[in-house]
Amino acid sequence: MRSSGGVGPGGDVGGLVEVAPAAGLREVFRRFSPDARPLWRWLWLSLVLVVVSPLVDAGAVLLFKVLVDRVLLPRDFSAFVPVAGAFVGITLVVGGLGFAGQYLGAWVGENFLHRLRTRVFEHLHTLSVGFFDRRRLGDILSRLTGDVAAIETVVLSGIVGLVANVVKVVVFGGVVFVLDWRLALASLVAVPVFAAAARVFARRIKVASREVRRRAGSISVVAEESPGNVALIQAYGRHAA
């Protein structure tokens, strides 16, 4: 990105870096899928864990129905031990699946970041001197760190999170229908409200996120250039007494 001036009034550094041109999701996946392709089999395994975990967790919800119908209401505490044992077993399985999914997701994400940052770093060494004259070093470093992490969220962990949330809605929504279909239908009244709110705020969040990345680059420019200029300022005796 091109530099667009210095620090603004009140110490505002937002004007040091311009907003980068927007790119669609299709373009993002096309450019960065080669870095994720060697990790797809592990990503599929992570998706399997994400799908299985809510299915097992739904069993714990159904166990509460069994606990109320067969133990608490009839006051038959002889059935309490099997129900409690099943609940403990489900909790352990869900915890194990959650740990495995998070560990695998973190491993896949870090490997993707390593591959992408290495590729970007190698590409920087092939660019001309004019490129570095036109762009601030702090902004380049900000892109190499923060922006690359944001790309990982879109290409990998964002997909896993989306699938996880969809599966949870379907599974636990089905459980609610099994327990009480009238209550489930009543809860659907709020769906259009949440959908409209998500649509409105998604646009604002997108604009705000782009501004955050731009200002992060500007702050990196100041943080990188200011210490390097201290010796020059002191040499000319312009530092404050």
What pLDDT was estimated at residue 1?
39
Give the span between the Cα atoms of 105 and 152, in whole angstroms.
11
Count of beta carbons in the 10 Å neighbourhood of residue 156: 24
Tokens of 197: 């709110």
Write the pLDDT tens digit of every residue in 152-168: 888 888 888 888 889 99
Kindly report the backbone phi and psi dihedral angles of residue 17, in degrees, each rounded to the nearest multiple of 5, phi listed first: -130, 135
pTM for this model (two decimals) = 0.68
Question: Cβ(56)–Cβ(90) under 8 Å?
Answer: yes
| 3 pLDDT tier (thresholds 50, 70, 90) | very low
- Whether the predicted pLDDT of 142 surpasses 50: yes
- Tell me the residue length of the chain: 241
Using alpha carbons, list the distances in angstroms from residue 132 to 28, 116, 126, 129: 24, 20, 11, 5
Q: Regarding predicted confidence, which is higher, 227 or 180? A: 180
CATH class of 9-235: mainly alpha
Amino acid of residue 115: R
The band of 228, judged by pLDDT with boundaries at 50, 70 and 90, is low
Give the model confidence (pLDDT) of 79-118 as tens digits: 788 888 888 999 899 899 989 988 998 899 899 988 888 8
pLDDT at residue 225 tops 70: no
Q: What is the pLDDT of residues 24-44, one digit of tens each?
A: 777 777 888 888 888 888 988
Q: What pLDDT sits at residue 81?
A: 87
Top pLDDT among 210 and 9 is at: 210
Angle between helices 80-124 and 40-67 (to 10 degrees): 160
